[in-house]
Amino acid sequence: MSEEPGSPLLGDLNVPLDHPTIQAAINEAPEGALICVSSGVYREQILLRKVVRLLGLGEKGSTVLEWGGEGATLTASVEASTGPACDGSEGPGCVTVSNMTIVHSGGRSTSPRGSASPGGKDSPRSASPSTSMRFGGALSPGGPRSPRLLTQQREEDRRSATELPKRHNDSIVVWGGQLNLEGCDISSQCGVGVAAVHSGTEVHMTDCVVYQCSSSGILVSQGASAYVEECCCTHNHKNGVSVQGEGSHATLRESQVLHSGKDGVLVSQSTAHIEGCTFAHSNKAGLNAMAGATLTMICSTSRCNRDGLNILDKGGEGTTAELERNVLLENLSDNLYVDKACRSGVAMRHNRK
- Per residue in 79-94, pLDDT tens? 654 455 554 444 446 7
Whether residue 57 has pLDDT greater than 50: yes
CA distances from 304 to 102, 307, 329, 332 (A): 30, 8, 7, 7
End-to-end Cα, the chain, rounded Å: 54
Whether residue 191 has pLDDT greater than 70: yes
- Going by pLDDT thresholds of 50, 70 and 90, the confidence category of residue 313 is confident
CA 252, 258, 260, 263 dihedral sign is positive
- Per residue in 200-215, pLDDT tens? 899 999 999 999 999 9
As a three-state string, the secondary structure of 3-39 is: CCCCCCCECCEEECCCCCCHHHHHHHCCCCCEEEECC
- Structure pTM? 0.82
CA distance 42 to 210: 19
| Average per-residue pLDDT for the chain | 82
- Per residue in 101-114, pLDDT tens? 999 998 655 443 33
Q: In the Cβ-directed half-sphere of 62, how many Cα atoms lie within 13 Å?
A: 9
Whether residue 122 has pLDDT greater than 70: no
DSSP state of 68: -
| Residues facing 258 on adjacent strands | 234, 280
pLDDT at position 129 is 39
What are the domain boundaries of the chain? 14-128+154-297
4 phi, psi to nearest 5 deg: -110, 145
E strands in 99-193 = 101-104, 172-176, 178-182, 185-188
Query: Where do runs of H (alpha helix) occur along 76-170?
Result: 129-132, 147-161
Rounded to an integer, the average pLDDT of 20-38 is: 95
Q: What percent of the chain is modeled with pLDDT above 90?
A: 65
Is residue 236 classed as helix, strand or coil in its secondary structure?
A: coil
Whether residue 239 has pLDDT greater than 90: yes
- Per residue in 128-186, pLDDT tens? 333 333 233 333 334 444 555 555 555 555 444 444 444 568 999 998 889 999 999 99
pLDDT at position 175 is 87
Q: Which CATH class is domain 14-128+154-297?
A: mainly beta
Q: What percent of the chain is modeled with pLDDT above 70?
A: 75
Distance of CA 3 to the CA centre of its chain: 35
pLDDT at position 149 is 52
Going across the sheet that includes 101-104, the strands are: 40-43, 63-67, 101-104, 185-188, 209-211, 232-234, 256-258, 278-280, 301-303, 327-329
pLDDT at position 163 is 44
- Per residue in 247-269, pLDDT tens? 999 999 999 999 999 999 999 99
CA distance 36 to 208: 19
CA distance 12 to 29: 8
Is residue 98 classed as helix, strand or coil in its secondary structure?
A: strand
Is residue 260 classed as helix, strand or coil in its secondary structure?
A: coil
